[in-house]
Structure 1
């Protein structure tokens, strides 16, 4: 259970990046801007379990003379769960404001007694990723999971068909990993900020100590110019987990909840 919450957050962030493939095209104008801040609450059944806050800001740092956007995500347990298995994780990604490819990524994870940190540099000219555990060659577009999340929001999905399966690639800890996701169509879904018209996805998850053999993870993303994930749900061995959007500010476009 010590990696429980960060694993779920990682799946949700990474799932958003499933559009980041060669068969799709990035829109010209970014769907977000510096100053955006979004907050999610993670619930175990009816209990509040954790909170994650993601911010985007202009970075004073430059990479090979190029400007960058800084994405910062912080995740922590709340309430009773602080006493059961305290989690306090922080992630940083510095990305090119035009291509949205990552320059640099770092993470610090504190989950009960477990500790992990990493610093990752992406050299897209030499196709080399340098991390604490060594160097890793790559081809094509490879992201960290935060940059993947923001790149995904800028993909033209007009040609996406129900049942289509996509695959993403992202670097984490000791290598480049893949995750597949299926597009399931459109639904109206309620979150902490109202009811929204959404695109529904289901990524593949691996059964184990957390997930059931037949567990399904579902993710709903606003079907508008913001493309914000507003809800995720998955059944686990005992009960279920739900991630819910509870706050959004500094958005490039107004949120568009369905009017009742």
Structure 2
């Protein structure tokens, strides 16, 4: 991946519990009206700074007359750091309710003056993805069609698909493959299930979690390899609680800040 959006990094950080390459029969882990907020910290030398915030949300939608989910992801740098590197990102994805297959994806980002406008239309009946990409490097619209055979995900719908998986059948160190389209290219990646672990959050509360590492794509942000770890709540919500990843210029961490409209009861810590 050449130029990669800030929120793409975060969604990749939050999605490595992704999938065995199969499609789900139904969605169960969330509902329309859910909102989740994250605080993003960046390792600057010997200190960690509050660099950004990210919000994810789910709404009901219609796509070609059929009921669907509208997934939203928004990211921005904190105002006090805008003078260093201003980020304003928005992501939208439409997916089917029953199998969570992606139907449409739109990325509109502006980071440090570098702009990307990227759209995908998923044509499942034809096994193709139609794409339209405009960047600051190439003002001319790039339009192409990509073939695909197995289930495939954009970086936003992948997160919600992942939250519906039953992790009980996984064994520690087991690799779980998934297909992801980023920057107009399809990548065959995998995550490694690391088992269950108790996680202490910055506020001192401890939670039961499911832990993973993820294989990253080598590019301008990542060196490649399994330098990403994610902890997901070990309950029906399966909400990512913490993520950390090594990047070329330090480390990034994302911590869950707040939730609203969860389908199931609030995520309960072990120490009230």
1:205/1:103 Cα in 2 relative to 1: closer, same or farther (>3 Å)? closer
Instruction: Find 1:203's aligned residue among 206, 214, 219.
Output: 214
Tell me the CA shift for residue 137 of structure 1: 1.0
Tell me the CA shift for residue 180 of structure 1: 1.7
Partners of 1:4 and 1:145 lie apart in 2 by: 11
Instruction: Find 1:186's aligned residue among 188, 192, 196.
Output: 196
Write the deviation string for residues 52-90 of structure 1: whole angstroms up to 9, x where unpaired: 10010111x322x31111111101111432111111110
Aligned to 1:31: 29
Write the deviation string for residues 190-235 of structure 1: whole angstroms up to 9, x where unpaired: 3367421011101123566545688721100111100111101123
Asked if the contact 2:216–2:225 (Cα under 8 Å) also holds between the matched residues in 1, the reply is no
Partners of 1:77 and 1:102 lie apart in 2 by: 28
Tell me the CA shift for residue 140 of structure 1: 1.8
Aligned pairs for 1:62-101 (under 5 A) are 62-63=63-64, 65-101=65-101
Partners of 1:195 and 1:67 lie apart in 2 by: 38
Asked if the contact 1:3–1:111 (Cα under 8 Å) also holds between the matched residues in 2, the reply is no
1:205/1:256 Cα in 2 relative to 1: closer, same or farther (>3 Å)? same
1:67/1:214 Cα in 2 relative to 1: closer, same or farther (>3 Å)? closer
Asked if the contact 2:216–2:224 (Cα under 8 Å) also holds between the matched residues in 1, the reply is no
Asked if the contact 1:13–1:145 (Cα under 8 Å) also holds between the matched residues in 2, the reply is no
Q: Aligned-residue CA RMSD in angstroms?
A: 2.3
1:184/1:2 Cα in 2 relative to 1: closer, same or farther (>3 Å)? same
Aligned pairs for 1:70-219 (under 5 A) are 70-132=70-132, 133-191=143-201, 194-206=205-217, 210-211=221-222, 216-219=227-230
Corresponding pairs, count: 255
Partners of 1:199 and 1:146 lie apart in 2 by: 20
Asked if the contact 1:102–1:122 (Cα under 8 Å) also holds between the matched residues in 2, the reply is yes
Partners of 2:219 and 2:185 lie apart in 1 by: 21
Q: Does 1:245 align with 2:256?
A: yes
Write the deviation string for residues 81-129 of structure 1: whole angstroms up to 9, x where unpaired: 2111111110001111111111111110101121111111111111111
Asked if the contact 1:15–1:179 (Cα under 8 Å) also holds between the matched residues in 2, the reply is no
Partners of 2:121 and 2:223 lie apart in 1 by: 35
Asked if the contact 2:17–2:191 (Cα under 8 Å) also holds between the matched residues in 1, the reply is no
Partners of 1:168 and 1:249 lie apart in 2 by: 29
**Structure 2 portions without partners, runs of 5+:** 133-142
Instruction: Find 2:56's aligned residue among 51, 54, 57.
Output: 54
Higher fraction of strand: 2
**Structure 1 portions without partners, runs of 5+:** none
1:224/1:146 Cα in 2 relative to 1: closer, same or farther (>3 Å)? same
Secondary structure (helix, strand or coil) at the match of 2:82 reads: helix
Partners of 1:96 and 1:76 lie apart in 2 by: 28
Partners of 1:152 and 1:213 lie apart in 2 by: 22
Write the deviation string for residues 12-47 of structure 1: whole angstroms up to 9, x where unpaired: 144132x2423xx74755110000000011101321
